[in-house]
Chains A and B, each alone.
Chain A
């Protein structure tokens, strides 16, 4: 099969690899029909995630058709169309039973930091990702969700990661009626976090980014106020002024470890003095009012970051962080998509054949051609 494969920082190619097969009785093999590139894939591409091995395939947002099932699988048969959460969860361990599917003990027992995930280095279990023609899906009775017959893969593709992540970001902010919410980041997760902040009763939503076309899109798609931090001498001063000097009730950080905005943070991240640049995190802490809430879904990794924990503590902030426990939110969000409240596929700006994935990565990373979200289509799924 063809699969996007990593060959070192900045180097990915589509190469021939053996087809996956059933390794465990609870596996399925999925024929991928739609897969997307996530902003967090760029951290892998840039070599920032430890234990990313040459030869591994990325991709944790995908949907497809069940091709083969293991003898232990009960809920799926070949031919079923499913969308798959990026978490790999067993459903029965201590964490899964509490709904923390992102923290599954069984799928990544070697690590205390993260549960198993598709295509996200051996730090999360070494599972092959879905930017390929086929992918092995463990614990198939727990994660994958069947796609209703009246919906297409692209309608629900983002239930695999970014839509539930945006939803969870808003949920963790414990948004009350009329709250002012600042969302850092107008990438796909930030866009959905803005949308969900409105759905949860925010009175005002302010989006911060530095890319003009993404701020314009956020204004159109989500009807938010926008701030371009590159046009501000001091973005925190601007945000304080916009919030009567007090700060926001909730700050949502949807940027992660490759944030721009501060040269010292960026340089120290690139030199591995710290694990990437936590500029957006820094701003989130400072832009929240005292007693406010900061919700963090931007991806950061080990070993450590310079972090204003003293400020957070003295301001009595509530910090909520985490990898999204996707399976909890999928059914509810599917209903919101179906009834038209959320137009999930409205953020797709580019579609590429799988063979052009390296070009897609380049366009997505460099934010060319007003790119918001790239979807890759394997050859067998091209019309």
Chain B
């Protein structure tokens, strides 16, 4: 008997459709992002931005099995955190404190 003649007892794609996840949606071909005009199911509320975004983009070009990919992503996470602290309020505060420190320094110098 040829291997292809042997009955396959419902393994994987050959499993009884009544007992397979995704049926009947698979049969009707409604599910699957490729059938819905290229709309992927994933999206993000936190798009790439700034220096962290550049590093992440570079990391995505490196395969999963290289530690470099993951170390770059971890570094980008830390930079992302620092970038998130650069709010207008924090910048104004930093500018104010910096200006005050500079004024005190030069005042002392000029005496």
List A residues at the B interface (Cβ < 8 Å).
7-9, 11, 17-18, 23-27, 47, 50-57, 72, 74, 88-92, 96-99, 101, 106-113, 116, 122-123, 125-128, 138-139, 141-142, 272, 275, 301-304, 327
Contact = CB atoms under 8 A, between A and B. Distances in A.
The A interface is mostly helix, strand or loop, or mixed, namely loop
A56 B45 contact: yes
B99 interface: no
Nearest to A101: B21
B58 interface: no
Interface in B22-66: 22, 25-26, 30-33, 36, 39-46, 52, 56, 59-60, 63-64
B77 to A, nearest CB: 6
B26 A91 contact: yes
B67 A53 contact: no
Contacts of B76: 51
B84 A98 contact: no
A317 B71 CA distance: 31
Contact of A91 (B21, B52, B67, B74): B21
Contact of A17 (B44, B45, B52, B74): B45
A364 B12 CA distance: 41
Which of B43, B76, B77 has the most chain A CB within a 10 Å cutoff? B77
Given A47-B78, A55-B46, A303-B70, A99 B21 contact: yes
Contact of A8 (B32, B63, B81): B81
Interface of B: 12-13, 15, 20-22, 25-26, 30-33, 36, 39-46, 52, 56, 59-60, 63-64, 67, 69-71, 73-74, 76-78, 80-81, 83-84
Contact of A126 (B46, B52, B69, B71): B46
A99 B26 CA distance: 15
A7 B67 contact: no
A92 B26 contact: yes
B73 A50 contact: yes
B59 to A, nearest CB: 8
Given A92-B22, A97-B20, A53 B80 contact: yes
Contact of A55 (B13, B56, B84): B84
Contacts of B81: 7-9, 11, 54
A139 to B, nearest CB: 6
Contacts of A112: 63-64
22 contacts: A8-B81, A18-B45, A24-B43, A25-B39, A26-B30, A51-B59, A51-B73, A51-B77, A53-B46, A53-B52, A55-B45, A91-B31, A92-B22, A92-B25, A92-B26, A97-B13, A99-B21, A109-B40, A122-B46, A126-B42, A142-B31, A302-B69
